[in-house]
Structure 1
Amino acid sequence: MATIHNAITTNSELRLCQGCGLAVSSTPIKENQDAYCPRCETQLYRGHRHSCSGDVALATVGLLLFIPVVLYPFLSIRLFGEYISATLLDGVFLLIDEGFVFVGFLVLFCGFLVPLAHCVCVITANLALKQNNTPLMRWSMYGIYHLKHWMMIDVYIVSIAICCFKLTDYSDLIFGLALPVLVVLQLVCLALVLRVSPRKYWQRLDEVQYLERTISKEVNPSELHDCPQCHLIQTHSEHCVRCHNKMKRTAKQSLQATWAYLIVATIALIPANVIPISILFTNGARLEDTIFSGVISLVDNDMLVIAIIIFIASIVVPVAKILGILYLLLCIHFKRTVFHRQRMMLFYIVKWIGKWSMVDLFVMSIMLTLVDRGQVLNFTPGFGAVAFGVVVVFTMFSADALDPRLIWKNHTHKHSTSTGDTFS
C-alpha cells in the first residue's frame, strides 16, 4: 500500500471514493478488471472496454422498442365476450381522468419518460463528442446521472405479472406483442446503465478538446473534492468547473435535507396505510381496500405468493427504508465509530429497494385499464394512493440527499489517518 502525499500532478493519478471519501491512488488495471475502495468496497473503476458505438446502438434499439410499447397492448382480457386491452399509457390517462394527476404522472415518469430520456441522453452525449459540444454533453450527462435511479421498467413487468394472477379468476388473459418487447427494453436499459460512465464520456471530451486537467503539487489531498457526476477532482467550489453540476452538499445541508424528506415520508405513511388505496365494485358491493386489507384479501383468495410480494413491496420496504435512513442519521448524529462498512451496505440496500414500492401504483394503473368499469366489475383508485406515492418519492429523495461520506466521518480504522491508499 502506498500513501499519497503532495506528489499529485494530474487527477488521473488520484481517485476520491464516492462512498467514503478516501483518497486512493490509481494503479494500472487489466481491461476486464474492476477496482474497489480498500476501505468501504465501493466500486471505483470498471475496467471493461468501452465502445461509444455500442452505446449508440443500444440506445437506438431502445428508442425503436418504444414504438411497439406505445402502439400495441401488453395484455388483454376477455370479459363477458368483450376484449379489453392495456398499453403502457392507457393507465396513465385513466388515472388523470379519475383526478389522480400526481399518481398518473409518477407512473408515466418512472415507467415511460425516464427510460425514454435515458436512451435519448446516451445518443446526444455521443453527438456532443462528435460535435465537440460541451453544453450538450453537460445536459446529456446530467440526465444520465440523475435519472437512472428512477428507471422502473423491471418493476412494471413484475406489476403486470401480479395483475395476471389477480385477474385469472375473473377473465381469460391474452398476452400482447408489447409484453416481450418490454422485457427486451428492460434488458437494453439495464445494459446502458451498466455500460455508460459519465466519467469516461467527460474524459473523452477532454481528449477531443486537448485538455489536460492538472492539480497543483502544493494542494493537500484532504482539501480536494470530486464532482459526483463527472468525477473531476478539484479544489472546493460550489459548482464543478467542468460539468457545472452542483457539488456535494455540505454535511449540514445533507443532514437537513435528509431529515426533511424523511419526516414528510413518515407523515405520509400514516394516511397511505389508513385511507383506502383501491375501490372495487363487484356484484353490487363496494369493496374498499387499504394496503394491508388488500394483502389479507389476496391471502383469503389463495394468492399467497402475490400477497407476500405486495406485503413486502408496499408495507415492509417503505417502513424498512424509513427506519434504515433514520438509523443511519442517528449513527451520524451520535458519531458512532464502529461498523461503518455494515452501515455502508445498509445505505446501498436502502437506495436499491426504494423503487420496488412502486409495484402497487403500477398494479393500480394496469387494473384501472383492464377492469371494465360500469359493468359487473368496477375498479377505481382511492386517495390512499396519493399518500403512498408521496411516501415512495420522498423516501427516494431522502436516500439521495444523504451523503454516504458522513457515515465514515468518525471512522477510526488505520486508513482514516492516511490521505490515500492504492486499489488493485
Structure 2
Amino acid sequence: MSFQASTSLKSQTRVCQHCDLAVEWLSLPEQQSAYCPRCNTQLYRGKSINVAGNLPLAIACAVLFYPALFEPFLSIRLIGEWITASLWGGVAALYHDGFTSLALFVGLTTIITPAVVLVATFMAEWAIRYRSRRWLKRSLTAIQWFKHWMMLDVFLISIAISAFKLQDYSDLYFRHGLLFLALLQILILLLITRLSSRRYWEVFETRHADFSHEHSSVTVAEHSSEAILVDCPHCHLTQSAHGHCERCESLIKPSNDYKMVRNTWGFLLIATVAIVPANLIPISILFTNGQRLEDTILSGIASLIENDMPGIAAIIFIASIIVPIFKIIGIAYILLAIQFDRQRFHRQRMTIYFAVKWIGKWSMMDILVIAIMLTLVDRGQILNFTPGLGAIAFAVVVFFTMLATESLKPNLIWRNINEKVNQ
C-alpha cells in the first residue's frame, strides 16, 4: 500500500476529500494509483496525464458541438412527409408546447452543461497562460459542478428507445447527426476523465512559482504536529486549517453540518412527494387513429412488454422506477445514520453514496424520450403526441434527488470517527 493512516499530522500528508482522513505520503511509482485506506477514494491517479492534451480535445468537442446540436439524428416518414428530430428541436418543441420547465431541464442537461464545461476548459488554459489565479479557480469550480449534470450518454440511449417505440407507427431513418452526437459524447467523456483540479493547480504552481510567491496575499503556515489538516474544496491542497487556502486563496471555513443535512432532507422530501404523482399521473399522451392513449410509467412498461420489447421495458423499469426509489431510500438511510450517529458500516454507506451519485442521471431517460417523441410526432399528423403532467412531476423527482446527492457531503458519514481522532 502506498499510503498509510497517519495519527500524527505531518507536512507531507494528503487529506482525503471524502472522509477527511490524513494519510502519509510514501514513495509511489508514477504508474500506480493510490486510494484512501478508509473509504477507497482515489487520492492519486497514476499514469500522469499531460494537461496540455486537454486543449486539443476541447477544440475537437467545440467543432462537433454545432452539428451535434442542430443536425437531425432521426427521421420518420408520415403520409409522404419527412419529419426530423434534432437535439435543439426537442428542447424547442417542449418550449413551444408550453412545457417550459421540461425544456429548461432538458436544455440544461444536454446543451448548457457540455457548453459550460468546454468554455471552462478553455478558460482554465487561458488562466494558466496569463497567470490568473481567480479565473482558474472559477473555471475549475464550474467544471466540477456542471460535469455531474451532463447527460449526452443518457440522450443517446433515449434515441434508441424512441426508435423502438416508433417503429410500429412509421418508417425510421437514422441521420448523420447521430454520428456527431456519438463522437461528441466519446470525446467529451474522454475530456472529463482527464480534467483534474489538483493537476491544473500543480501545473499553475510549477509554471508560475515566482509569480505565485510574489503576488499571493496568503501566508503559508507551517504544519505543526498538533495542527488540524484540511483539504481545500477548490484546489485540493492539504494544509493547516486557517483563513484562506495557501494556493488558490479560497476562504476555508468550518462547514455547517446542520445546514447541509437540513438542505438534503428538504430536497429529498420534495422528491419523495413528487414521486407519487409521477407514477400515477400519465407521463405521455398519444393520439392514434382517433384514440387517446394515456400512459403512466408502469402502463408504458406494460405496453412495451405486450409489444414484445421486454429488453426496453426492463431498461425503463430500472431507470424510471427502481433507480428513483433506490436514490430516495439510499440518501434517507445515509442521513438517518448521520443524525443517529451510527458507529458501524461507514464504508457501506460510502458505497451507497457513490452508487446513488453515479446512477442519478439515468432516471432522466423517460424525459429525454418524451422530448424526442414530441419532436417527431407533430400535432396535426395521424400520430399526435404530447407530454402529460406526470412528466413534470417525474422531472421534479430527478432534479431534486440529484440536488440532494450534490448537497450531501460524504465527509459527514465519517464525522463521528473524525471527532474521536481529533479529541
Structure 1 and Structure 2 fold alike (TM over 0.5): yes
- CA displacement 1:74-121 (0-9 Å, x = unmatched): 111112221111110101011011111111011111011111211121
8 Å contact from structure 1 (residues 230, 243) kept in 2: no
Seen in structure 2, the aligned counterparts of structure 1 residues 348 and 378 have a Cα distance that, compared at 3 Å, is same
Q: Which residue of 2 aligns with 1:32?
A: 31
Q: Is contact 1:4–1:25 with CA below 8 Å preserved after alignment?
A: no
Amino acid in structure 1 at the alignment position of 2:236 = H
Contact map agreement 2:5 2:23 (CA 8 A) in 1: no
Q: Which residue of 2 aligns with 1:422?
A: none
Deviation (angstroms), 1:273 = 1.4
Identity of aligned residues (%): 47
> C-alpha separation between the residues in 2 aligned to 1:248 and 1:127?
32
Q: CA deviation at 1:245?
A: 7.0
What is the alpha-carbon root mean square deviation over aligned residues?
2.1
- Does structure 1 conserve the Cα–Cα contact (< 8 Å) formed by 2:10 and 2:225? no
Q: Is the 8 A contact 1:340 1:411 kept in 2?
A: no
1 CA distance for matches of 2:300 and 2:244?
47
Residue aligning to 2:107: 108
Q: Distance in 1 between matches of 2:244 and 2:264?
A: 21
Distance in 2 between the 1:256 and 1:62 partners?
A: 39
2:386 equivalent in structure 1: 380
Deviation at 1:383, TM superposition (A): 1.3
Structure 1 residue 163 displacement after superposition: 0.5
Return the letter of the residue paired with 2:8. H
Report the Cα distance in structure 2 between the residues aligned to 1:239 and 1:6, rounded to whole angstroms.
19
Structure 2 residue 350 is matched with structure 1 residue 351: no
Q: How many residues align?
A: 411
1:263 counterpart residue number? 269
- 2:66 counterpart residue number: 67
The letter for the 1-side match of 2:153 is: D
Is 1:18 the counterpart of 2:8 in the alignment? no
Distance 1:318 1:97, change over 3 A: same
Quick check: 1:31–1:49 contact (8 Å CA) kept in 2? yes
Matched, 1:276 2:282: yes
In the TM superposition, what are the counterparts of 1:226-305 in structure 2 within 5 Å? 226-236=231-241, 240=245, 242=248, 244=250, 249-305=255-311
1:3 to 6, 27, 30: 6
For residues 166-214 of structure 1, the C-alpha deviation after alignment (integer angstroms, 9 at most, x for no partner) is: 1111111111111122111111111111111011112222233324684
3-state SS of 2:82 partner: strand
Contact 1:59 1:192 in 2 (8 A): yes
Q: Is the 8 A contact 1:29 1:47 kept in 2?
A: no
For 1:114 and 1:237, locate their aligned partners in 2 and report how far apart those are by CA, in whole Å: 33
2:337 to 301, 317, 331: 331
- Matches of 1:68 and 1:161 in 2, distance apart? 19
Whole-Å separation in 2 of the counterparts to 1:363 and 1:208: 47
Closer, same or farther: CA 239–160 of 1 in aligned 2, 3 Å: farther
1:15 counterpart SS class:
strand
* Larger RCO, structure (CA 8 Å, separation 6 or more): 1
Q: What is the Cα deviation at residue 290 of structure 1?
A: 1.4
Equivalent residue in structure 2 for 1:369, among 367, 375, 381: 375
Distance 1:7 1:352 in 2: 34
Contact 2:137 2:234 in 1 (8 A): no
User: 2:30·2:46 contact (CA, 8 Å) conserved in 1?
Assistant: yes
Cα shift readout 1:311-363 (whole Å, capped 9, x = no counterpart): 11111111110000011111112222222111111110001111001100100
Is the 2:5–2:37 Cα contact (8 Å) retained in structure 1? Answer: no
Unaligned 5+ segments in structure 1 are 420-424
